Amino acid sequence: MQDSSWKSLSLQPSVAQLEQIFEFSSHLVFIYNWDLKKLIFVNNRVAEKLGYTPEDIQQMEGSILTFVEHPDKEGFLKEIHAEYESLEVGKKVEFVCKLLHKNGSIRTLRNRSMLLARDSPEASRLIMNVAEDITDTLEREADLLKKQYQFNEAEAIFKCGTWEWQANRKGIEWSEGIFKIMGLSSEEYKDKTISRRFYESFIAPEHVKRFADYTVQVLAEHRPSYEIEHRIINAEGMVKYVTLQGHIYYDEQGRVQRIMGMLADRTEIITYQNELERRLTALNKSNRNLEQFAYVASHDLQEPLRKIIAFGERLAKKYKEQLGSEGQFFVDRMTGAAQRMHALIEDLLAYSRASRQTESYASVNLNEVVKNVLEDLEVKIQEKKASITIDDLPAVEAQSVQMHQLFLNLIENALKFTKPGTTPKIAIQVRKIVPYEAPTVGRINPKENYFEFIISDNGIGFEAEYAERIFTIFQRLHGRAEYAGTGLGLAICRKIVEAHHGFIEAQGKPGEGAKFIFYLLVTQPNTP
């Protein structure tokens, strides 16, 4: 059939055929009798998308315009009516409106309306409106915009961006985050795509060769991932420390097909690390100077104190008669004060040593340590008639001198704070911490092995509110007249335990005794 004869054919479908065609359409079809202001036809898609059956529309007197949702509904309908009134054959009107679904939800329709040709001038004006339900599309677009916004916000917060390269595309696609790191506006780059050489032009000169060599090596070895730290000088002239990461996808022939990755700006982190390291170095230097000063000052104080004590004792013995009772009292007070000062200096020296590693770590048999401690305290134990029970103690990696000091202070503390008229009972218990207990203990590393030690007594105890205070330097819960001491013993214990990467705590009740619980590593970190 020739084109001319094809064009000469005139298709004049029947009303029934038109209805079948409209029912076949995936869009909503409305036909208005404009003269009567009434719908005369709707296809089944209207019921599917809006919930209104032909019977419902008939009850609405052939109109669903009453269900239009708009902030200025009256003005909106007047505008549409004006468009319809001036509509000519061959022209169309397009608009978007929201309609209330029968179930109460809101659906958004994109409409295209056209005036149908009339068979005669007397025939009614018919307007056909074809509508597409775009509600789900708009929701997806809004959701995508929301996710893109959240993604951009996340990139801004974490100072990073993503990139992608594909074999069938030209260039590397950057996310908004990378453009910000590079000090560039993404709007100036078509499809947010740049070349590899463009990025490499920002790399700091001293890192260019290392960057290029690493890239060649990764591809030559067909590595699945890519990661390199380097510096860049961005478009604003700012030096940035960045980490470039990527995951590489190869085809069956080993050719690179796709690389997806991330660029992270680590400038603030590196700056903070450098500043922390600088401050830590300064702090360590200051601490060493303070420790040296404390040690030297304390050591130099020992000699005059020893002389005061020695001459005081000689004075008391040789000139006892001449001094009289009052003079003897003054000499005793002077000698006692000097002895307390001597003890305080000794404890300060011990406290200073506890924060320094004066000897290397070695395997220490704690049974031997406690045996030596009990020999040192033999006189006090006999005076108090104390009963001491001890578990079989393990060997730990530690400094033996400090372990001796630790157990000496804790046992001596238990002997000191006894109840009058009561035989002191002291128990030293130990057990190994199993891994699943680590979370319940709290301050220990679940990846390390620990021993838990408990030194308990039946002494005077203390209020729970003082459980932390008693480890503070120079803190005393009782007067010197009641219980002698400098207030440094438990502070030294904490220093020693913490120097061995453990921790110590205390529990007690007034009149019921006290418990000192401490945790020591089986093996110290970074030791062979």
Say yes or no: 369 and 515 in one domain. Answer: yes
Domain end (from 341, 356, 371): 356
66-84 pLDDT tens trace: 788 888 988 988 898 899 8
Domain end (from 306, 327, 356): 356
Say yes or no: 285 and 261 in one domain. Answer: no
Say yes or no: 89 and 22 in one domain. Answer: yes
Say yes or no: 53 and 70 in one domain. Answer: yes
Q: Is the pLDDT reported for residue 62 higher than 80?
A: no
Say yes or no: 39 and 167 in one domain. Answer: no
1 part of a folded domain: no
More confident residue, 88 or 5: 88
More confident residue, 43 or 212: 212
Which among 113, 108, 139, 140 has a CA at the least distance from the CA of 127?
Answer: 113
108 part of a folded domain: yes
Type of residue numbered 251: D
Q: Is the pLDDT reported for residue 357 higher than 80?
A: no
Mean pLDDT of the chain: 83
53 part of a folded domain: yes
* Domain CATH code at residue 63: 3.30.450.20
Percent of the chain clearing pLDDT 90 (strictly above): 30
Say yes or no: 222 and 364 in one domain. Answer: no
pLDDT at 409: 87
How many domains is the chain built from?
4
Cα gap 387→428, rounded to integer Å: 11
Say yes or no: 159 and 217 in one domain. Answer: yes
527 part of a folded domain: no
pLDDT at 486: 54
Mean pLDDT of 157-164: 90
Cα gap 359→64, rounded to integer Å: 92
Which residues have a Cβ under 8 Å from the Cβ of 22 and sit 6 or more positions away? Answer: 29, 41, 43
Say yes or no: 234 and 146 in one domain. Answer: yes
More confident residue, 221 or 321: 221
364, 370, 371, 374 alpha-carbon torsion, rounded to 10°: 150
120 part of a folded domain: yes
pLDDT at 206: 93
* Owning domain of residue 119: 13-133
Helix (H, G, I), strand (E, B) or coil at 360: coil
Which of 57-61, 243-247, 397-401, 482-486 shows the lowest mean pLDDT across its residues? 482-486
Q: Would the pTM count as exceeding 0.75?
A: no
Which among 487, 475, 367 has a CA at the least distance from the CA of 428?
Answer: 367
Asked if 246 and 259 touch (Cβ cutoff 8 Å), the reply is yes
Q: At what angle do helices 489-499 and 320-354 cross, to 10 degrees?
A: 20
Say yes or no: 164 and 242 in one domain. Answer: yes
Domain end (from 133, 156, 188): 133
265 falls in which pLDDT band (50, 70, 90)? very high
185 falls in which pLDDT band (50, 70, 90)? very high
More confident residue, 33 or 340: 33
449 part of a folded domain: yes
Q: How far is CA 351 from CA 205, 370, 495, in A?
A: 52, 20, 7
313 part of a folded domain: yes
Say yes or no: 103 and 217 in one domain. Answer: no
Which of 10-24, 166-180, 348-362, 454-468 shows the lowest mean pLDDT across its residues? 10-24
528 falls in which pLDDT band (50, 70, 90)? very low
Asked if 431 and 450 touch (Cβ cutoff 8 Å), the reply is no
Say yes or no: 50 and 117 in one domain. Answer: yes
More confident residue, 148 or 357: 148
* Domain CATH code at residue 330: 1.10.287
pLDDT at 1: 40
Say yes or no: 318 and 409 in one domain. Answer: no
Q: At what angle do helices 489-499 and 400-416 cross, to 10 degrees?
A: 150
281-322 pLDDT tens trace: 888 887 777 777 766 666 677 777 778 888 888 887 887 777
What is the full DSSP assignment across 398-410? Answer: E-HHHHHHHHHHH
Which of 151-155, 171-175, 403-407, 430-434 shows the lowest mean pLDDT across its residues? 151-155
217 falls in which pLDDT band (50, 70, 90)? very high
367 part of a folded domain: yes
